[in-house]
Structure 1
Amino acid sequence: MDQPAMTLLDPRDRSARGVAIEGDVTGRAAAAPATLLEESWRDFVFAEVWARPGLPRRARFLVALASAATCGLADTQLDDFVRGALTTEALTLVELREAALHLAVYSGWGNGGRLDRAVTRMSKEKGLAPAEVPPIRPAPWDPEERVAQGHAAFHKVMTFPPGPPSNPYLEGINNFVFGEMWRRPGLDERSRRWITLVGVCESGADIPIRSHIHAAMASGNCQPAEMLEFVLQYGTHAGWPKASRINGVVLDMIGKVENGLPWHG
């Protein structure tokens, strides 16, 4: 019996696709790669990973921005992602300012500052007016109301009720992270998920990794197939060993969510 002919893929087609996608993602003309590493950005990261349909472009930008700021990418690469997000209108300047604040909470104010400075550089490059964002909290507040708002936001985001904020760390989580930041209107909850996921994955802390991956799906913000694509997108910046661990947790949490089980146990 004759064997079916194999279909060969032309490397020139892959490179051309990589050049086109790199131009979209970075907001600039793609330069010819000078090294093998640069070639891998064109022929794998852009041509294959960014071309995959399983994760929307907006989500890929958020993961890339957060990863670039926390995984050691150069400022020029971070600038590229900010420029590309603005040029393609995947994210607005207001949303990028909110993204920097959100990243500061989950990856540290230093990394949030890296993203914030990149947003400043690219907004100046594009001649944009400053973003009009509301202050953290413009009016006086009742401390008990703030605690209640934090509890409610935590329950909504994490899909399980919090314990009492019994020490300074837990007070900070309840009162600022959930009571103020997650409630801000400048960035939608689904978008905040992708930034959060990068932050907890980079932390290496088991409880935040497992609980946030579970909550991302249990809340309905992120679908299981999207979470698997997230691991690939994250892995291109964080490295395959880190992504391997996260892939295992995602598979575990997919099963728990499908069976109505909590993230622990």
Structure 2
Amino acid sequence: MNPHTLPHTLSLGRARLAAIEGSADASILDALGDIAPDLASLAIGFVYGEIYPRAGLSLPERQLVTVAALAAMGGLAPQLEFHLAGALNVGCQPAELVEAMIHLAVYAGFPAALNGIAAARAVFARAGVVVAAAAARPAAAGSRYEAGLARLREIDGEAGVRVIASLQDIAPDLGRFIIEFAFGDIYARPGLDLASRELVTVAALAAMGSATPQLKVHMHGLLNVGGTRQQLVEAIIQIAAYAGFPRAINAALAAREVVAAH
């Protein structure tokens, strides 16, 4: 045991990790035992012993935030598969995880979404899980653009509308695609409620660390659709473990502005 890891946090971390991994044997100890055993102890004691037990997000919500962050950053297939399996173990539904990966097409791009789906497929195959494809909801009355604009206003309010307006002099079709595809098609799909979609979006944007204006819009969106300040803050703290403290600090500073203005 790392002498700097408190025994009670290590014990608590082992218990929380066991729930996520579905096994009393922490695989991270075996994986790092011959090269960096202290890193394994620090991860268990800090991430699972101090961050995961915090109030404000349920364990399934923490796993949803984690898989969104890992998938959005890309290049982390082993950890993504581990946490997708963990999400199943703590009660996330397979259809929710598939929908979270589809949702990322808007914010992290289609390659990230496709790689996320590939990781989910591998995890589901090992677990013997079969996922029925979710059909999109029937189109609302009126045009696809009108339906998307109404949903944009519902979620992001005037902050989202201002983003679309800012594109009119340079890329008006990009604004139209955002309304029709992101909000008219993706946000209309079943599988995740609006608060969960915004939680996924905030986690992804915060983890990528390069889209602060859009992150602020969706922080407002999370609060607009019933998310709480505590959920917002806890999602930021959660991604510190997976995307690093600098990105979490930047996200926290953005959250301060959003909460003050909301």
Q: How big is the shift at 1:240?
A: 1.0
C-alpha contact 1:65 1:78 (8 A) present in aligned 2: yes
Structure 1's unaligned 5+ residue stretches are 1-8, 258-265
- Over 3 Å counting, the alpha-carbon distance change for 1:168 and 1:27 in structure 2 is farther
- Over 3 Å counting, the alpha-carbon distance change for 1:104 and 1:127 in structure 2 is same
Q: Secondary structure at the match of 1:129?
A: coil
Partner residue, 1:43: 45
Letter in 2 for 1:157: I
Q: How big is the shift at 1:95?
A: 1.1
The answer to whether the aligner puts 1:158 opposite 2:156 as a matched pair is yes
C-alpha contact 2:203 2:235 (8 A) present in aligned 1: no
- TM-score when normalising by structure 2: 0.84
- TM-score when normalising by structure 1: 0.83
Aligned pairs for 1:89-238 within 5 A: 89=91, 91-134=92-135, 136=136, 145-160=143-158, 162=161, 163=164, 167-201=172-206, 202-217=208-223, 219-238=224-243
Letter in 2 for 1:174: I
- Bigger-Rg structure (1/2): 1
For residues 111-136 of structure 1, what are the alpha-carbon distances to aligned partners after superposition, in whole Å with 9 as ceiling and x for unaligned?
Answer: 112221111011111112232311x5
Identity %: 25
Letter in 2 for 1:102: H
- How many pairs are equivalent? 244
RMSD: 2.4
C-alpha contact 1:107 1:203 (8 A) present in aligned 2: no
- Distance in 2, matches of 1:171 and 1:234, equals 31
Partner residue, 1:261: none
**Where is the helix percentage greater, Structure 1 or Structure 2?**
2
C-alpha contact 1:71 1:237 (8 A) present in aligned 2: no
Q: How big is the shift at 1:73?
A: 6.3
Structure 2's unaligned 5+ residue stretches are none
C-alpha contact 1:26 1:82 (8 A) present in aligned 2: no
- Distance in 2, matches of 1:76 and 1:24, equals 18
Letter in 1 for 2:26: A
C-alpha contact 1:63 1:194 (8 A) present in aligned 2: yes
- Over 3 Å counting, the alpha-carbon distance change for 1:75 and 1:205 in structure 2 is closer
Q: How big is the shift at 1:98?
A: 0.7
Q: How big is the shift at 1:175?
A: 0.6
Q: How big is the shift at 1:193?
A: 0.9
C-alpha contact 2:203 2:236 (8 A) present in aligned 1: no
- Over 3 Å counting, the alpha-carbon distance change for 1:109 and 1:245 in structure 2 is same
Aligned pairs for 1:45-64 within 5 A: 45-64=47-66
- 220-229 or 238-247: bigger deviation: 220-229
Partner residue, 2:80: 78
C-alpha contact 2:72 2:112 (8 A) present in aligned 1: yes
Letter in 1 for 2:47: V
- Over 3 Å counting, the alpha-carbon distance change for 1:19 and 1:11 in structure 2 is same
Letter in 2 for 1:151: L
